[in-house]
Structure 1
Amino acid sequence: MKNALKSLLAIYGVLLLSACENKVEVTTPTTPKLDRFENIVNSGVLRCGYQYWDGGLYQDDQTGELKGFMVDVTEALGTVLDLKIEWTAVIDWGLISTELNTNKIDTFCAAVWLSGKNTKTMLVSDAIAYNGFEAFVRGDDNRFDNDWRKLNDPSVIMAIIENTSSGFISQRILPNASPYGLPPIASTDLDLALNVATGKADVAFTNPGILVSYMKQNPGNIKRVRPGEPFAYMGLTYPVQQDSFRTLHMINTGIKELQNTGVINQLIEKYNVSYPEMFLESAGS
């Protein structure tokens, strides 16, 4: 009797184990996570981070409305892509890649200057237009009038904004100059000019159109080393987060349409009236 009971228990145990092994797990299907491109297309909205720079993007003192070359370009881009442009937040230059890669914004619509080093932290679009990149020194500093190459010396202090395209390219132009780094958060091209004007630095690079208001209001404080002869041509680009290749393709296609239909050239002509030599249609033009 005991042996029979043991046998029955053993058989029951085997059947129970077999049932457990063959049990089918029922799971609730999860909705696949949409990537950034799909979110943009489904919402019909392109979220823009931005920062102020003279001529490129500024706020009307009376109305509070955003204006400037990049505002007009971006709104035109939204039209050809059938997207609403949302001016989401002011972003410090040094935080652009962080805001992109944490999905706070879809792109940075004040534009960043094209630099290979940018691609380590974000993707960048084709150039919309270009800014000439010139050297500026103090108005009474005549050491470099006849030979700009004298700037490329360790005794020359060069103001740069650290970890930015302008800083990277300035150091490539003058690799032997001693960099005087400004923090990327809250520093602007005007700060570069002020550091030269006040004697903290000997030279800085930027676009002459960006400084046109400052130079009119402060004649003689700084001067251009090679007027009308840029040391580089800085492409204005839209950055997106590192893996957003479809978003990048969409933006590049929109840029190409705006260029091919003359929209970009019309905006260049419009803004170069108030900001001479600010924008160029192509590098070297």
Structure 2
Amino acid sequence: MNIEKLKLVNFKFYSKNFNLFYWGISIIMITIMLSCQKTQNSSTYGISKKEQILQEGKIRSAYAIYPPASVKDPNSGEISGIFIDVIEEAAKNLDLKVDWTEEVPWGTMIEGLKNNRYDIIGSGVWANAARARGADFTIPIYYNGVGVYVRANDNRFSEGLKSLHNMDPKNLKIAIIDGEMADLIARTDFPDAELVSLPQLSEGTQLLLEVASGKADLTFVQPFTANEYLAANPGSVKNIDPGRPIRIFPTVFMIKEGEYELKRMLDIAIEELINSGFVDRTIEKYAPKDLSFYRVDYPYRSAER
């Protein structure tokens, strides 16, 4: 073998081994990086939200005020309502306590869940596609219809929802609470309408006041809220189509996205309360004879049917 061939063989040998060495080092470095990441994730997210709650013996719950799901006593600051009673009873059956952490605006609820400020929105929300992008939900406690309310002397809506959808939305002023459901309905169904916005912690009855005072043409609220307002302000507003809600939403607890073990535990606890009649009794306690609460049916049928 001459010198030139020997150099070529040596070059190929060293090139091959250098490549093997290079790939070996790369694999080792990648393995170390993944191990470090796994260790970091394990220390931060080593246990699920369900396990954390069970270990601590409490579920941290934020809330928004929206009667009758959640009501705050103006003197004592104590909160009550359908959803408050349901989560307290579910927690009791799970041998847990509820730690009511803070009142939160509608628009920042999901951010607080993502940042682990609390474990659940315990006052109930209406599940929809926009919220589903960043959070998960329990099974419904009940369903709510949403009505369209205008001034009592406004005769432009004689054909109910049909009249509304036939109108030029550019001529409409709609009262909303930023981040709340009226905001979503207005932006989805009437994107060209003028929005009369209220701050996030405003009460639902404030929307009706905006309509009654002429600052807005209409708003979207559940009939329970409207009936409360009309009890104090008779003849001021009306539902343009009482038999046809513009929306029907499942009313649910909202939790952090991806916490499936927690969702399963809560779903079972809620289903137990639905099937035992506790939820029906609680609805009657806070909203007696209100037909705008559509109950969850029992998930079975009798042998006679």
Q: TM-score range by the shorter chain?
A: 0.7 to 0.9
TM-score by length of 2: 0.75
Instruction: Flag structure 1 segments of 5+ consecutive residues without an equivalent.
Output: 1-26
1:142-181 alignment, distance < 5 Å: 142-152=155-165, 153-154=168-169, 155-172=171-188, 174-175=189-190, 178-180=193-195
Change (3 A) 1:170 1:77: farther
Post-superposition offset of 1:147: 4.0
Q: Does 1:280 align with 2:291?
A: no
Specify every segment of 5 or more residues in structure 2 that has no aligned partner in the other structure, as ranges.
Answer: 1-35, 298-305
- Please state how far the C-alpha of 1:279 moved relative to its aligned partner: 2.5
**CA shift in 2, pair 1:82/1:206, >3 Å:** same
Correspondence for 1:79: 92
Counting only pairs closer than 5 Å after superposition, residues 51-62 of structure 1 correspond to structure 2 as 51-62=64-75
Shift of 1:203: 1.4
For residues 65-214 of structure 1, what are the structure 2 equivalents within 5 Å? 65-152=78-165, 153-154=168-169, 155-172=171-188, 174-175=189-190, 178-180=193-195, 182=197, 185-214=200-229
Contact 1:272/1:278 (8 A) holds in 2: no
The number of residues matched between the two structures is 256
- Partner deviation per Cα, 1:237-274 (whole Å, 9 max, x = no partner): 1111122121122111211111122111121222222x
Separation in structure 1 between the aligned mates of residue 200 and residue 151 of structure 2, nearest angstrom: 25
Deviations 1:153-179 (A, max 9, x none): 32222223343344324544x446615
In structure 1, the residue corresponding to 2:50 is in which secondary structure?
helix
Structure 1 distance, partners of 2:77, 2:133, is 35
Partner SS for 1:209: helix
Of residues 34-43 and 147-156 in structure 1, the stretch that sits farther from structure 2 once superposed is 147-156
Moved beyond 6 Å, runs of 4+: none
Higher helix residue share:
2
CA shift at 1:90, angstroms?
0.9
SS in 2 for 1:110: strand
The alpha carbon displacement at 1:78 in A equals 0.8
Percent of paired sites with the same residue: 29
Q: Distance in 2 between matches of 1:44 and 1:278?
A: 36
* Partner AA of 2:209 in structure 1: L
Partner SS state of residue 185, structure 1: coil
User: Structure 1: how far apart are the matches of 2:259 and 2:177?
Assistant: 27
Distance in 1 (CA, whole Å) between partners of 2:146 and 2:282 is 20
- Check the 8 A contact 2:145/2:293 in 1, yes or no: yes
The residue correspondences of 1:246-257 to structure 2 (distance < 5 A) are: 246-257=261-272
